[in-house]
Structure 1
Amino acid sequence: MISKRFLVKRLLLLVPVLFGVATFVFAILHLSPGDPARVIAGQRASEEFVQQIRTELGLNDPIWVQYGRFLVEAVQLDFGQSYQIQQGQPVTEVLRFKLPVTLEMAIYGQLFGILLGIPAGLLGAIKQDAISDHLTRIGALTGISVPIYWSGPLVILLFAQVLGWFPASGRIASEFSIRPITGVITFDTLIQGNFAAFQSAATHLLLPSLVIGIYSMALISRMMRSSMLEVIRQDYMRTARAKGQGSKITVLKHGFRNALIPVITVVGIQFGTLLGGAVLTETVFGIPGIGVMLVEAIQVGDYPIVQGTVLTFAFLFTMVNLVVDITYSYLDPRIQQ
């Protein structure tokens, strides 16, 4: 049972983290070269028009006034309007349509990493130094070493071009027209009862999710193996086996839960890494997600899009860490103390 005091304490700790991220983003963007007013007005606009835009945006105010206004608006989830990407459109609306695209791919990639990594790590620990252990370690090392911008095209070449099993890019076949409800296309197709569209969306997402999940799978399997090996050598595990309990029951009943604690840490950290890796994955597979939009916003100087995206990523990452802390306390109630 998770205590309310523990949960409230973790929630309060999120406040300084988000405050620090917001301050850092504001400082970086205001110290970087470039004039947002000039970006909006265009390079050929007159200086009077540029000054008018600066006044309307409040860019002529003292920096501390701009900072305070930025914090107040950020708390209200008001990140302003896009300068270039979707000019005049509120940033929250832009993120509302783009964020589910990236989240869907990251969540499925994390599921691939968990479903493949934990069994591989368990197998390697139980069958230490066996052929299966060596194979899983080689696979994990390969997954950590191969970058997405290299593995992505190779996967496309093999499964899309040579074998023709899966599509090479996009989110769904062009013949399907799906009305966005949640923004998560696999959910939207199921909600609307279009199972043919769901199959198309699932096949389109399989390759990018697999590519983005390979790195996560490699780290999870390595951590699971080392953690399980440490747990297996504990005295209480030897006692359970000495009492005549089977080795499989001993590992799954007594060791697995304790071995999961450091693995949960890796899973939480990897979610943030998957969001960052989505930039490359979306580029390789032609998926119009928030990662590609962020790179484009940085290139054209669309500061509200950059601020809103970074703060959204920070919020998601802190929430994932909160879930990790709650999972910790469930697996080991002593942590709450």
Structure 2
Amino acid sequence: MTRYVMQRILGMLAVMFTVVTIVFIIVRVAPGDPAAVMLGPDATAADIAGLRARLGLDQSLPTQYVLFLGQLLRGDLGQSIFLNMPVLSALAERAEPTFFLTLFSILIASAIALPVGILSAYKRGSLFDQVATTFAMFAASIPSFWLGLILIQVFAVRYGWMPASGYGGPDASFLERLRHLVLPALALGIVSSALITRFTRASMLDVLNDDYVRTARSKGMGEWGVVMKHAFKNALIPVLTVVGLTAALLISGAVVTETVFSLPGIGNLVVSAVLRRDYPVIQGALLVIAALYVLINFLIDMLYLAIDPRVRY
């Protein structure tokens, strides 16, 4: 087990080192001078030279790379040009809406997909299975921003049950802010449930006809126990994998949804940074999202230890 954990940790560190290197190269080889792009066409040569010195762009690439790695090891992601604050602080201020949006979206997706996928596999070929498969294909083809606009039109504009956008005022309570996340979480959760449903159904179909399932039935165990205790437990690893990947993708893929619902999250911050050419924010956001993606996958790998004894040995 220790070897398994160490392999995953080393793999995680290798992936993060690769991501850091790629982000560094992309920013440096992008067309044009980053300092000139950030300052705009009215900037003077002195202004551009000053910003280049401030960002360390006037030094050689190997020197910039070493300084960049040193900054990251100190937890310094740089300084935002337009926000005039550390990038890490800017990301921390926007983390709450993105975190809860991702959490609620994955909970909604799992609440829809797991029961539907299990029942669809158990009742293979039935009307329920056909309807569930059709729904999964339909949900997978819906753009989340389009579904978000439909939800706004129905539940916010027509009936007024939910707020259409925003995250509440400065004095809004925590429950009021969560209320603003209902529609965007539904939009992301319904779309994300399609992939989890299909994986759950396929994984359950692989184990429902195995020998140990037939043995459990022959011993007189009830169907609920056979399906949940024996079949679903052994089908859980691929399902858990796709749930973890979906959660990681939701963190990085909520940009459009946050823009549609005007949520002040990390996705909205990244859009603003791209439009303003605020390269330190873009670079910092890419690194943080990549780190979260790798961390989620590492945690999923650790959950394998608790689910499948074969992994421990």
Mapping of residues 27-38 of structure 1, within 5 Å: 27-38=25-36
Looking at structure 2, the residues matched to 49 and 161 of structure 1 have their Cα atoms a distance apart, in angstroms, of: 48
Instruction: Give runs of aligned pairs for residues 173-252 of structure 1, distance below 5 A.
Output: 174=169, 177-178=171-172, 197-252=173-228
SS class of match (2:306)? helix
Aligned partners of 1:34 and 1:251: how far apart in 2?
59
Paired residue for 1:58, among 53, 56, 59?
56
Distance 1:71 1:24 in 2: 12
1: CA distance, partners of 2:244 / 2:90: 26
Contact kept? 1:39, 1:83, Cα under 8 Å: no
Q: CA deviation at 1:11?
A: 1.8
**Is residue 161 of structure 1 aligned with residue 128 of structure 2?**
no
3-state SS of 2:161 partner: coil
Is the counterpart of residue 111 in structure 1 residue 107 in structure 2?
Answer: yes
Indicate the residue corresponding to 1:253 in structure 2. 229
Matched residues in 2 for 1:294 and 1:101: separation?
14
The yes-or-no answer on 1:97 pairing with 2:93 is yes
* Aligned twin of 2:306: 330
Match of 2:293 among 317, 329, 332: 317
Counterparts of 1:41 and 1:201 in 2: how far apart (Å)? 35
Q: Distance in 1 between matches of 2:263 and 2:202?
A: 36
Alignment deviations for residues 194-241 of structure 1 (CA, whole Å, 9 cap, x no partner): xxx344223211111111111221111111111111110111111111
Amino acid at match of 2:49: Q
How much has 1:162 moved relative to structure 2? 1.8
Q: Which moved more, 1:118-127 or 1:35-44?
A: 35-44
CA-CA distance at 1:305 after TM superposition: 0.4
1:306–1:226 distance in 2 versus 1, CA, 3 Å: same
TM-score (norm 2): 0.95
Structure-1 residue corresponding to 2:79: 81
Q: Give the TM-score of the pair, scaled to structure 1.
A: 0.88
The secondary structure found in structure 2 opposite 1:128 is: coil
Contact kept? 1:21, 1:314, Cα under 8 Å:
yes
CA distance in 2, matches of 1:316, 1:100: 14
| Cα drift, residue 272 of structure 1 | 2.2
Deviations 1:248-269 (CA, angstroms, capped at 9, x unpaired): 2111111111111110111111
The gaps in structure 1 that reach 5 residues or longer are: 179-196
Could you tell me which of 135, 138, 142 is aligned with 2:134?
138
Q: 1:50 to 1:238 in 2, by over 3 A?
A: same
Structure 2 unaligned segments of length 5 or more: list them: none
How far is 1:169 from its partner?
0.8
Q: 1:200 to 1:41 in 2, by over 3 A?
A: closer
Change (3 A) 1:56 1:204: closer
- Per-residue Cα deviation, 1:266-306 (whole angstroms, up to 9, x for no partner): 11111122123211110111101111211221222211101
Q: Aligned-pair RMSD on alpha carbons?
A: 1.7
